Chain A
Amino acid sequence: MRRLLERVGFALAVLVLVSPAALVFLWMLSLSLKTELDNTAWPPVFIPDPPVLENFAAVFARNDFLLYTWNSVVVSFSATALAILIGVPAGYGIAKMRATRAAMVILIARITPGLSYLIPLFLLFQWLGLTGTLVPIVVTHLVITVPIVVWVMIGFFEGLPGELEEAALVDGATIWQAFRHVAFPLARPGITVAVILSFIFSWNNFIFAVVLAGRETRTLPVAVNNMLTFEQISWGPLAAAALLVTLPVLLLTLLAQKQIIAGLTTGGVKGG
């Protein structure tokens, strides 16, 4: 009897923990599938009956949603690829040299508010005449993606046994070859974690694009925020747009939860 009570109590605790997360996303889904009439009904309508897709159609009809999606894809992929290209060797170098001071710089970058980079960079990009292109947005996103990649990779390379590379060096390989052909292939799982995390935090980022993006270069979060300002009352399309923006990230989280959890617990990395 006591065991049963304990089990019921525990199940309730799990339910209480999980439901705020689940309910907000379900409510987002519900809002996006209801007609305008149902969305402003009182008491609220919970289950869309019948579910309609007109809100999603409205999102694509009324905005350059495809253009903004393309912008987001270009920015997140470029910022992640560049970060991997320069961040993986850097993580390797820092781990090998035990360069704690270099690691500290990365850490301080993590705690600096994003806005503080923006004032100088905004002026710089204006001076270089790059405003109105995606270049400034990609470059500023490196502020997020590079520290994430370096941080994850330092942790990963420190955990790798060095014997294999040493054997390669003994056989006359250069340190670049030892990295390229021995350490790099071994580091695949770590790189996967770094790619996923840096992609997600770049995709989610709002602060850099809200300042730097022009009409043609908005990323999805900025575009969705603009919809809020102009369409206060029409909730259906708003919720549909919000869902479309965050859906790729949610799916990625569901698919790669193991890697994400491993990456986040080692460093508590998060863009910002």
Chain B
Amino acid sequence: MGHPAAALPGGAAAAAGAGRRRNYARRYGWFIVPAGVVVLGVILFPWAFTLFMSVHDWKVGGGRLYVGFENYRKLFTDERFLWSVVRTLYFTALAVVLPMLFGTAAALVFNRRFPLRGLARTVFILPMMATPVAVALVWTMMFHPQLGVLNWLLTQVGLPPSMWVYDASTVIPTLVIVEVWHWTPLVMLIVLGGLASLPVDPYEAAKIDGASAWQAFRHITLPLLMPFIVVALIIRTIDALKAFDTIYVITQGGPGTSSETINIFLYLQGFAYYNMGYASAVVVVFFALIVSLAALLLWTRNRVRNA
């Protein structure tokens, strides 16, 4: 890396060839060094150390013992873990599909001009900026089976009251409601950004050719919007897999273990039972799952694009 003080004469830099330019660009490396140190310390070091711990039997305050792949073997026969994977996938599927649908629809609405649009859009994105713990508290009170406002609403429209998060069969869909409420705005913003970038010409051509509004949407808007929808899809999938705050605050994985997703399982292993080695193995498997799902989505996008 060059030294920033030893500046090239400006004219030479501007006129430099490709090889020279690379040399010149390299001097910007100094700008990255401080951030690089932080990334090394709080991001790369934990990754490496996690791999190291995952092959040890490591209890806080109890010493460590090299056990090879024992933690991983145990993990793949641990029914509690395997169920947490199933639950995570169930939760993720719902918490991806619904916000994608609602978010895209909302983006189409907010792309039109109407009075008070700015205010309406700001209110719409408030949930994603609000503190998750605070929001989870309010939802917990609304889900209360006897005194919660949601059961009152259900009885008003003639439906039977629900147990919401207090019953094993309804707890995950209920948590999905909170997640949808929380993160639909992010999908909306990404798709709205896409809509803003659409060209006008194809629509004028379609209008001249007598296409209906639905045809224009189906054959022009949707294909042009696809890249943005895929970005939203990938971000939403990753975030849904990682969901923690609201689940932890509202149910802590309960009742029983019926809402224990991988992240909650990981938290309990690491910071309730202090099985650091075992928890590290969970981290590695969890991370592999997230990366492979994200890669799968990217790969599908490239295939669709090339087809």
Contacts and interface: CB of A to CB of B under 8 A. Distances in A.
A73 B291 CA distance: 34
A153 B155 CA distance: 51
B35 A18 contact: no
Interface centre among A14, A28, A241, A253 (most CB of B within 10 A): A14
Given A18-B120, A119-B50, A175-B27, A200 B290 contact: no
A86 B42 CA distance: 14
B23 to A, nearest CB: 11
B217 interface: no
Contact of A99 (B32, B121, B131): B32
Nearest to B102: A17
A146 B38 contact: yes
A105 B186 contact: no
Nearest to B291: A111
A27 B189 contact: no
Contacts of B137: 224-225, 228, 238-239, 241-242
B62 interface: no
Given A42-B147, A206-B245, A120 B45 contact: yes
A216 B9 CA distance: 56
Interface in B23-58: 25-32, 34-36, 38-39, 41-47, 49-50, 53
B206 interface: no
Interface centre among B30, B31, B35, B139 (most CB of A within 10 A): B35
Interface string A75-118: 00000000001110110111011110010011011111111111
A250 interface: yes
A250 B129 contact: yes
Nearest to B118: A257
A93 B239 contact: no
Nearest to B129: A253
Contacts of A142: 38, 42
Interface string B261-272: 001001100110
A261 B177 CA distance: 24
A142 B181 CA distance: 27
Interface string B40-84: 011111110110010000001000000000000000000000000
Contacts of A159: none
B18 interface: no
Nearest to B61: A126
Nearest to B177: A20
Given A44-B149, A86-B38, A140-B42, A18 B287 contact: no
A86 B37 CA distance: 10
Given A114-B244, A170-B11, A21 B181 contact: yes
B13 interface: yes
Contacts of A18: 120, 123-124
Contact of A93 (B29, B42, B140, B276): B29
Contact of B32 (A90, A108, A175, A220): A90
Interface string B94-138: 000000000000100100101000101111111111111111011
B89 interface: no
Interface stretch (A52-60, A61-69, A186-194, A263-271): A263-271
A235 interface: yes
Nearest to B236: A268
Nearest to A204: B131
Given A87-B35, A119-B280, A245 B134 contact: yes
6 tightest A-B CB contacts, nearest first: A93-B31, A90-B35, A265-B193, A170-B10, A242-B134, A120-B49
Interface of A: 10-11, 13-14, 17-18, 20-22, 24-25, 27-28, 31, 39-40, 42-44, 85-87, 89-90, 92-94, 96-99, 102, 105-106, 108-124, 126, 139-140, 142-143, 146, 150, 166, 169-176, 179, 200, 203-204, 206-207, 210-211, 220-222, 224-225, 228, 235, 238-239, 241-243, 245-246, 249-250, 252-254, 257, 260-261, 264-266, 268, 270, 272
20 contacts: A11-B114, A21-B126, A27-B142, A44-B149, A86-B34, A89-B32, A93-B29, A93-B32, A96-B25, A111-B238, A116-B47, A116-B50, A123-B49, A123-B60, A169-B13, A172-B7, A176-B30, A222-B133, A246-B135, A249-B129
